[in-house]
Amino acid sequence: MTKGFDIEKVLMQMTLEEKAQMCSGRDFWKTQDVERLGVPSVMMCDGPNGLRKQLGEGDHLGINESIDTVCYPTASAMAASFDKELLRSLGEELGQECQAENVGMLLGPGINIKRSPLCGRNFEYFSEDPYLAGELASAYIEGLQSKGIAACVKHFAANNQETRRLSGSSQVDERTLHEIYLPAFEKAVKQGKTRALMCAYNAVNGIFCAENKKLMTDILRNQWGYDGFVVTDWGAVKDRVKGLKAGVDLEMPGSTSGKTAGIIAAVKSGELEMDILDTAVRNVLKFVNETLEKREEKAEFNREAAHQKSEVFAKECAVLLKNNGILPLKKEQKVAFIGGFAEKVRYQGSGSSHIHVEHPISAMECADGLSVVYAKGYDENSAEVDEALIEEAVAAAKETEAVVVFAGLPDAFEAEGCDRETLELPENQNVLIRELAKVQKNLTVVLHGGSAVTFPWKDDVNAILCMHLGGDRAGKAAVDLLYGESVPSGKLAETWPLKIEDNPSYLNFPGEEGIVEYREGIYIGYRYYDKKAMEVLFPFGHGLSYTTFSYENLKISKSCMSDQESMTVSCKVKNTGERAGKEVVQLYVGMKKSTVRRAVRELKAFEKIALRPGEEKEVTFTLDAGALAYYETKIHDWFVESGEAEISVGSSSRDIRLTAVVEIHSEMELPMTVTRMTTMGELEKLKKGREFVRSFMQKMGMGQENNEKSEANRRTDDAMGEGSEKARMHMMLAMPLSGLITYGAMPEEAVDDLIRSLNEE
C-alpha cells in the first residue's frame, strides 16, 4: 500500500490560495499542509553535524532549545578525513535519527568553498577545493538519502563570508564561478542526487540568489538537470514573485509579511503565470510525497551507539600537523594536561548548526588509568593573560615528563553571522605555550577550531595535533590519539597560511559597502600558494601518521590521449613503519603550458587506504580527460587544451612522490574570429591555420635541420648563437597577420583572402 498521494490530482484540486500557501512554510520548520486533500506537513531541521530539532519556539541562530542528541565533528573536520565512506556513514546516522524523529529533511551539507580562512562559518564547510567538497558532499547526501531523508545542500551560491550576509553581493567572473564556486553544487546534484537545495542570502553579481534565474533555473535545472526543489535560506526573500519566476519553490520560514497575498495578487493580475506557480507547488508536493513514501514509522535511533560513531569519526578527522617523535605518549609517563579546553572540550561552532548535547566528553574525563595532572593555564572565554594561571601551569610542567596543551579558538571567535578578525589564537594561549616551552621539551599542542589558525610557536613545540571541532567525543578521541590507541590519518582540507596577509582574498575580503569582488579569480587556496611558490604554515593535503608510507611504480595506461578518452593511473603504496596506519593517496593534475591562467596542480582524485606494517597496496584511479579541462568563457563550457599534462601522486599538495607526463590532443577547436591582428601563434589553434603557419614557416626556412637552412639563416645563426633560431620562431609566432603585409611577405589581398577563408571554418 502506497503512503503517498497523486501529485497531479492534488494540484488540480488546489485553490489559488492553497497553492500560494504551499510555496511558504506553515511555521519555522514545516511545510504547509492541505488537510482536505490529504497533504500533510513535513518537518525539516538544521544539521549538518547533528539534528537540531526544535520542539518549542524555532530560531535559525541556535538560540532556543533543541533536543538533546549527538554532535558529530563539523564539516571542516569531516573533510579532513578525506574518506567518502565516513561521510556516507555520517549521512546514514543522521538519516536514521531523522526517521526516528519524523523529520523529512536535514538542512545540510553546507558546501561553500573556503575563500578566506576568516569566514566565520568555515567550520560548517568542507574545503577550499571544489573537487574534494563535491565528492564528500555527495557521499554524505547518498548516506542521508539512503534512509529516505532529503538532503538540502546549501548555500547556493558564492556565499563565502558572513559580513553583510543578508545583503551583500559576491562579484565573481564567469570562469571563477564555474571552476571554483559551482562544481561542488553540480556534483551534489548530479552525483549525490540531492533532493533539495537552499539558495543563499547573498546576491551574485548584483542579483539576489532568491531571485536569480540564471542560477536557480538556467544553470541548476537546465544545465545540470536538477529535479528537486529549491528552498530559500531562512528569511532570504525580498521579492517573492520574482523568486518564483526565478525557480525558487519554497520560502522558509512561513511568510509573515504578506508575501503569500502578493503571489495571489500577481496571479490574478497576470503578472505571474499559473504555470510557474504550479511548477513550484509540484516541486514541493513531490518532496512531501517522497517523504511520505519513504517514511519508516518504526525507525529507532540508538543514541549511545551514535556517540560511539561520533568518536570514531573524530579520530579519523584529526590531523597530526607536526611530530618530532614525542607522540604517541606512553601510559606510564607523567603528563600534564594544560588548558581550559582539556576540561571543557571545544567541539562545535555557534549558530544554526549548534547541537544540544547533554554531556560532551572532555580529555580530562578520559584520563583514568593514565598518569595525568591538570592545570588550567588560560581562561577559555578570554584572551587576557592570567599570570597566576600561567605560573601554576609552568610549575606542573616542571614536574612532569611531558605536557599537552589543549588550545584553540574560543566559541566567540568563530560563529555564524560574523567573520573572524584574525587568524591568531588568543594572546593568553600563545603566551602560555611559549612559557611552557621554556621549561618542558616534551611539549604537544592539541588544537581545537573550525578553520586555519596561525601561531608564533611552531618551532618551540614538539608535536601539534589538530582535532578541528571534533564533535561531542573529541576529548576521548584526542586522548586515544595522543596515547597511540589510534593512529592519526587526517589531512588538511585547506591550506594554513603563514599569515592572513598571504591569503589571496586578503585585499578583497570582506569587500566594501556590501560588494565583495572575487578578484583573485581561480587562484584560491593552494591554487594560489603553489602558483606563487609561497611558503605556507601547513599545505593542503598535509597530515602525518605514526607510521610512514612509500610510493612507487607509477603507471599510466596511456602516454598520449585525446580529450575524449580516459586513462588509469596507478601506484603502489607501502607502509614502511612499524604501526598499522592509513594514508590518503592524492592525485593532482596540471598542464605544463597553457594559453590561459591555470593552477600548477589541482586535486582530481584521492583514496584513503589502510595498511598494516610492511603491507603494500596498489591504488588505481580512472581519470578522464575532462579532469584536465578549464572553463572557457568563449564557449561557456569546459575545454581541454592540447599539451603536456603532468599527473602527480602524493601524500600532500606539497609532498608529491611520483609524477608522469601525458600528451593530450584536443579534438575540439575553440571558435576564433581571425582578423589582421590575429597572431601566427594564435592561428595554430585552428587546423587550417596550423597548415598555413607550417607552410609559411617552411617557405621562410624556419624550423629546419641545419643542412636544410638557407645561407642567410645559417649566417644569422652563426652570428647570433644557438638562440637565434628560437628567437626567429618566437618573433614569427608573435607577429600579427598585418605584419605579413608590412614586411612584404604577402600582398594585402592575399592576407585578406586568407582571413576570409579561415573565418569560413
Residue whose C-alpha cell reads 562559518 in the numeric block: 121
Question: What's the half-sphere exposure (Cβ side, CA atoms, 13 Å) at 750?
Answer: 10
The HSE-up count of residue 371 (CA atoms within 13 Å, CB side) is 12
The interface mask with ligand BGC, positions 67-106, x = CB under 6 A, is: ----------------------------------------
CB of 248 to ligand BGC, least distance (A): 15
Those residues whose C-beta lies under 8 Å from the C-beta of residue 487, and which sit 6 or more positions away, are 481, 545, 546, 547, 579, 580, 581, 582
* SS3 annotation, 106-121: EECCECCCCCCCCCCC
Q: How far apart are CA 339 and CA 379, in angstroms?
A: 8
- 551 in Cβ contact with 612 (< 8 Å): no
Grid cell, residue 162, equals: 558572513
Does 150 sit near ligand BGC (CB under 6 A)? no
Q: Which is nearer to ligand BGC, 200 or 599 (CB)?
A: 200
Instruction: For ligand BGC, give the closer residue by CB, 123 or 483.
Output: 123
**46 is a site residue for ligand BGC (CB under 6 A):** yes
Which helix (DSSP H) or strand (DSSP E) does residue 132 occupy?
A: helix 130-145
Catalytic residue, chosen from 46, 233, 480, 502, is 233
Given 128, 233, 316, 520, the residue binding ligand BGC (CB under 6 A): 233
Torsion of CA 212, 215, 218, 223, to 10 degrees: -170
The CA–CA distances, whole Å, from 567 to 323, 555, 570, 647, 674 equal 37, 10, 10, 11, 35
Q: Considering only CA atoms, give the Rg of the chain.
A: 29
Of the pair 107, 335, the CB lying nearest ligand BGC is at 107
The three cell numbers of residue 753 are 583572402
Exposure of 19 by Cβ count < 10 A (0-12 exposed, 13-18 middle, 19+ buried)?
A: buried
Lookup result for grid cell 542579483: 207
Q: 110: which 3 cell numbers?
A: 553546507
- Cell 540531492 maps to which residue? 194
Euclidean distance between CA atoms 400 and 378, whole angstroms: 19
Nearer to ligand BGC, 110 or 339 (CB): 110
Determine, following the binding rule CB under 6 A, whether residue 7 of this chain makes contact with ligand BGC. no
Least distance between ligand BGC and beta carbon 46 (Å): 5
Tell me the helix, strand and coil percentages in the chain, rounded to 5.
35, 20, 45
Residue pointed to by grid coordinates 587568524: 423
Q: Which three cell numbers stand for residue 598?
A: 591555470
User: Contact, 465 vs 472, CB < 8 A?
Assistant: no
* Closest-CA residue to 653 (of 758, 756, 483, 527): 527
Q: Which of 325, 365, 327, 358 is nearest to 344 (CA)?
A: 365
For ligand BGC, which is the closer residue by CB, 66 or 489?
66
Is 233 catalytic? The answer is yes
Give dist(CA 371, CA 450) in Å, integer: 30
How many whole angstroms separate alpha carbon 161 and alpha carbon 182?
Answer: 16
Residue 234 interacts with ligand BGC (CB under 6 A)? Answer: yes
H or E stretch including 693? helix 687-699
Is the peptide bond between 456 and the residue preceding it cis, with omega within 30 degrees of 0?
Answer: no
Whole-angstrom Cα distance, residue 483 to residue 328? 5
CA atoms within 13 A on the CB side of 87: 29
CA distances from 207 to 74, 216, 234, 720 (A): 30, 11, 18, 58
Gap between the Cα atoms of 584 and 1, Å rounded = 46
Instruction: With beta carbons less than 8 A apart as the criterion, state whether 449 and 469 touch.
Output: yes
Angle of CA points 96, 101, 103, to nearest 5°: 85
Closest separation in Å from C-beta 155 to ligand BGC: 6
In angstroms, give the least distance from the CB of 419 to ligand BGC.
Answer: 14
Contact assessment for residue 660 and residue 729, using Cβ atoms and an 8 Å cutoff = no
Q: x/- string (CB under 6 A) for ligand BGC, residues 152-191?
A: --x-------------------------------------
Size of the site for ligand BGC (CB under 6 A): 7
- Tell me the closest approach of the beta carbon of residue 521 to ligand BGC, in angstroms: 26
C-beta of 154 vs 728, nearer to ligand BGC? 154
Cis peptide leading into 109, omega within 30 of 0?
Answer: yes
Judged on CB neighbours under 10 Å (0-12, 13-18, 19+), 572 is middle
Nearer to ligand BGC, 234 or 639 (CB): 234
- In whole angstroms, how close is the CB of 585 to ligand BGC at the nearest point? 33
- Closest residue to ligand BGC, judged by C-beta, is 60
Residue 251 touches ligand BGC, criterion: CB under 6 A: no
What is the residue type of 343? E
Q: Which of 107, 314, 317, 404 binds ligand BGC (CB under 6 A)?
A: 107
Does 354 bind ligand BGC (CB under 6 A)? Our answer is: no
Would you count residue 60 as binding ligand BGC (CB under 6 A)?
A: yes
- Give the nearer residue to ligand BGC in terms of CB position, either 339 or 351: 351
Cell of 308: 560511539
State which residue, 203 or 603, has the beta carbon closest to ligand BGC: 203
Does 352 participate in binding ligand BGC (rule CB under 6 A)? yes
d(CA 40, CA 587) in angstroms, rounded, equals 48
Residue 210 CB, nearest approach to ligand BGC (Å): 12
| Residues 441/462, Cβ–Cβ less than 8 Å | yes
Catalytic residues: 233
Residues that bind ligand BGC (CB under 6 A): 46, 60, 107, 154, 233-234, 352
